[in-house]
A and B are shown apart, each in its own frame.
Chain A
Amino acid sequence: MVVIQRVVKATTRKGKKVLLKKEPQVVEGPKKALFFQGRRSSEKLRRLAKDLYDLKKPEAQMLNKKNDITIFENATPVEAFCKKYESSLFVMSSHSKKRPDNLVIGRMFNYSLLDMVELHVEAAEFMKDFACSKIALGTKPCLVFNGPAWEETEVLKHLKSLFIDMFHREEVNSVRLQGLEHTISFTATPEGKILIRSYKVMMKKSGCRVPRVELEEMGPRIDLTLRRSKLPSEDLMKEALRKPKELKVSKKKNISVDGLGTTHGRIHVGKQEINKIQTRKMKGLKKTTDEKKLKRAAKRTTDNNNVNNKVKKQKLG
Chain B
Amino acid sequence: MDVVKTILEKSAKEAEKYKSVEVNKLVSIDLGALLAEDLNPLDPGALRSSTNDYLLNLTRDNTQLLFNQIWELPTERIDEAIVAKLPKQKFCLPRFKPVPRPRPLTKWEQFAKAKGIVKKKKSKLSWDEQLQKWIPLYGFKRSAALKEKDWLIEVPQNADPLEDQFAKKVEAKSEKVAKNELQRLRNVAKAKNVKVPRFGLTNPEVSSAKDLQAAVTVAKSSTASLGKFQDKLPKEKEARGVAAITPGATRKRKLPPISGQNEKNQNLNLVDEVLNKRPKINIEKAVARQINDEQAQRSDEKNRTGRKKGLRKSGGGKKPKNTNRPRKGKAAGGRKRR
Q: Taking beta carbons and an 8 Å cutoff, which residues of A are in contact with B?
A: 2, 4-5, 7, 23-26, 28, 31, 88, 107-111, 114, 140-148, 150-151, 161, 164-165, 168, 171-180, 183, 185, 187, 189-190, 195, 197, 199, 201, 203-215, 217, 221, 237, 239-245
A–B Cβ pairs within 8 angstroms, 25 of them? A24-B98, A109-B96, A109-B98, A110-B97, A114-B94, A141-B34, A143-B36, A144-B37, A144-B38, A146-B58, A146-B62, A161-B93, A168-B35, A176-B83, A177-B70, A177-B71, A180-B34, A185-B59, A185-B62, A187-B55, A197-B56, A199-B63, A206-B21, A210-B68, A212-B64
Min CB distance A1 to B, Å, is 9
Please give, as numbers and ranges, the residues of chain B lying within 8 Å of A7 by CB-CB distance: 185, 188-189, 192
Whether B214 sits at the interface, judged by CB under 8 Å, is no
Contact of A142 among B19, B63, B76, B82 (CB under 8 A): B63
Please give, as numbers and ranges, the residues of chain B lying within 8 Å of A150 by CB-CB distance: 37, 39
Give the number of chain B interface residues (Cβ < 8 Å).
63
Q: In the complex, are the beta carbons of A195 and B55 less than 8 A apart?
A: yes
Whether B127 sits at the interface, judged by CB under 8 Å, is no
Q: How far is the CA of A219 from the CA of B69 in the complex (A)?
A: 26
Please give, as numbers and ranges, the residues of chain A lying within 8 Å of B94 by CB-CB distance: 107, 109, 114, 161, 165, 237, 240-241
Chain B: CB-nearest residue to A243:
B99
Whether B176 sits at the interface, judged by CB under 8 Å, is no
Q: In the complex, are the beta carbons of B95 and A144 less than 8 A apart?
A: no
Please give, as numbers and ranges, the residues of chain B lying within 8 Å of A111 by CB-CB distance: 97
- Known contacts A207-B18, A244-B99; 13 further A-B pairs (Cβ under 8 A): A4-B197, A23-B100, A26-B100, A28-B96, A109-B97, A148-B39, A148-B42, A164-B93, A172-B86, A187-B55, A206-B21, A207-B17, A212-B20
Please give, as numbers and ranges, the residues of chain A lying within 8 Å of B32 by CB-CB distance: 171
Min CB distance A34 to B, Å, is 12
Residues B144-201 near A (CB distance < 8 A): 182, 185-186, 188-189, 192, 194, 196-197
Q: How far is the CA of A249 from the CA of B25 in the complex (A)?
A: 33
Q: How far is the CA of A160 from the CA of B258 in the complex (A)?
A: 52
Q: How far is the CA of A4 from the CA of B58 in the complex (A)?
A: 63
Q: In the complex, are the beta carbons of B83 and A177 less than 8 A apart?
A: yes
Residues B1-58 near A (CB distance < 8 A): 14-15, 17-21, 32-42, 44, 47, 51-52, 55-56, 58
Q: How far is the CA of A101 from the CA of B132 in the complex (A)?
A: 82
Chain A: CB-nearest residue to B60:
A215
Please give, as numbers and ranges, the residues of chain B lying within 8 Å of A168 by CB-CB distance: 33-35, 93
Min CB distance A195 to B, Å, is 6
Q: In the complex, are the beta carbons of B83 and A174 less than 8 A apart?
A: yes
Q: How far is the CA of A31 from the CA of B62 in the complex (A)?
A: 26
Whether B269 sits at the interface, judged by CB under 8 Å, is no
Whether B66 sits at the interface, judged by CB under 8 Å, is yes
Most chain-A CB neighbours within 10 Å: which of B19, B47, B96, B192?
A: B96
Chain A: CB-nearest residue to B195:
A5
Q: How far is the CA of A180 from the CA of B71 in the complex (A)?
A: 11
Please give, as numbers and ranges, the residues of chain A lying within 8 Å of B108 by CB-CB distance: none
Please give, as numbers and ranges, the residues of chain A lying within 8 Å of B99 by CB-CB distance: 24, 26, 242-245
Most chain-A CB neighbours within 10 Å: which of B15, B19, B52, B59?
A: B59
Q: How far is the CA of A4 from the CA of B187 in the complex (A)?
A: 12
Known contacts A239-B98, A240-B95: does B67 contact A151 (CB below 8 Å)?
A: no
Q: How far is the CA of A244 from the CA of B63 in the complex (A)?
A: 32
Please give, as numbers and ranges, the residues of chain B lying within 8 Å of A185 by CB-CB distance: 55, 58-59, 62
Chain B: CB-nearest residue to A215:
B60
Q: How far is the CA of A139 from the CA of B194 in the complex (A)?
A: 44
Q: How far is the CA of A81 from the CA of B294 in the complex (A)?
A: 85
Q: In the complex, are the beta carbons of B92 and A241 less than 8 A apart?
A: yes
Chain A: CB-nearest residue to B57:
A215
Q: How far is the CA of A214 from the CA of B32 in the complex (A)?
A: 22
Whether B110 sits at the interface, judged by CB under 8 Å, is no
Please give, as numbers and ranges, the residues of chain B lying within 8 Å of A189 by CB-CB distance: 42, 47
List 10 tightest A-B contacts by C-beta distance, closest first: A240-B94, A185-B59, A2-B197, A88-B96, A24-B97, A24-B100, A213-B64, A210-B71, A142-B34, A207-B18
Contact of A174 among B19, B39, B76, B189 (CB under 8 A): B76
Q: In the complex, are the beta carbons of B55 and A146 less than 8 A apart?
A: yes
Q: How far is the CA of A205 from the CA of B38 in the complex (A)?
A: 25
Please give, as numbers and ranges, the residues of chain B lying within 8 Å of A199 by CB-CB distance: 56, 59, 63
Q: How far is the CA of A141 from the CA of B36 in the complex (A)?
A: 11
Min CB distance B183 to A, Å, is 11
Q: In the complex, are the beta carbons of A146 and B96 less than 8 A apart?
A: no
